[in-house]
Amino acid sequence: METRKSSSPDTVLGPEEVEAFSKAKDKLFITLYRKRATYFKRWLRVTDRYFTALEEHDRTIENIQRNFIDDVIDKYAMRIEHRKERFKNKFRHAVSDDGKTLPFLNGMDLLIWPKNRAHREELIEKENEYHQKNQKINPDTQMQKKPVSEGTPLDGNAAVQAQGGSEDWERQAEESDTGSVSSMEP
């Protein structure tokens, strides 16, 4: 005899809820991708400099870049936390079992430390997948005209480059939020 799984009324969504959920998912993805683009550019630079310093056994630059990597990861997490929380509160059924992650984002809501250059390359490929998904959902986006590349190699005085530029990427992150995202607000 066959048994059927029953669903409670709380777990079954009507067509209107499904459509609203789908639109909200796409909107959240686009919003987070726009924020992530600026932070990921910075992540590319500092992780490349970190691994270069590691290979050259330059402890000073390595420690500086380590702090920059932590900084960009933390700032991205803080920047998107409000949007994620709002989404989680509205669509509780979308949250995974751990209560923290949104499975449909497929890790896009996290910038992570690369273990080595090969892992960094995998993360860059994952970023290219996010870019392609964003182009599919929102083809009008002009954030990046080409997929993410390897990053910028160090040239010139590495110590000076390692210390500069923090204010510039923070300003870019602020500017990316003002016009494009505010038009998406309900």
Match 């402890």 to its residue by tokens: 59
Residue 161 clears pLDDT 60, i.e. is over it? no
Reported confidence tier of residue 169, pLDDT bands at 50, 70, 90? low
Angle at 64 between CA 168 and CA 178, to 5 degrees: 25
Residues 6+ apart with CB under 8 A from 157: none
Q: Are 29 and 105 in contact (CB under 8 A)?
A: yes
Residue 101: per-residue pLDDT: 66
Position 173 scores a pLDDT of: 58
Question: Rounded to a whole number, what is the distance in angstroms from the first to the last CA of the chain?
Answer: 50
Mapping DSSP to helix (H, G, I), strand (E, B) and coil, where does residue 68 land?
helix
Does residue 183 lie in a domain region?
no
The model's pLDDT over 71-85, given as tens digits with 9 standing for 90+, comes to: 999 999 999 998 888
Look at residue 107 and tell me if it is in a domain.
Answer: yes
| 81 lies in some domain | yes
**Rounded to an integer, what distance in angstroms lies between the CA atom of residue 109 and that of residue 76?**
8
74 within a domain of the structure (yes/no): yes
- CA torsion sign for 114, 115, 121, 122 is negative
Answer yes or no: is 12 within a domain: no
Is residue 95 within 8 A of residue 102, CB to CB? The reply is yes
Domain count, the chain: 1
- Tens digits of residue pLDDT in 111-148: 999 999 999 999 999 999 999 999 998 887 664 445 55
Write out the two tokens for 117.
Answer: 């250059």
Task: Tell me whether residue 50 is in a domain.
Answer: yes
Q: Decide if 184 is inside a domain.
A: no
Q: Which residue has the higher pLDDT, 1 or 149?
A: 149
d(CA 131, CA 145): 10
Backbone conformation region of residue 3, classed left if phi is above 0, alpha if psi is from -120 to 50, else beta: beta
Each residue's pLDDT tens digit, 19-66: 888 888 889 999 999 999 999 999 999 999 999 999 999 999 999 999
* Residue 154 pLDDT greater than 90, yes or no: no
C-alpha–C-alpha distance, residues 186 and 21, integer Å: 15
Q: What is the mean pLDDT of the chain?
A: 76
Backbone Cα Rg of the chain: 20
151 lies in some domain: yes
CB distance 72 to 46 below 8 Å: yes
**Domain hosting residue 168, numbered range:** 18-175
Residue 181 pLDDT > 70: no
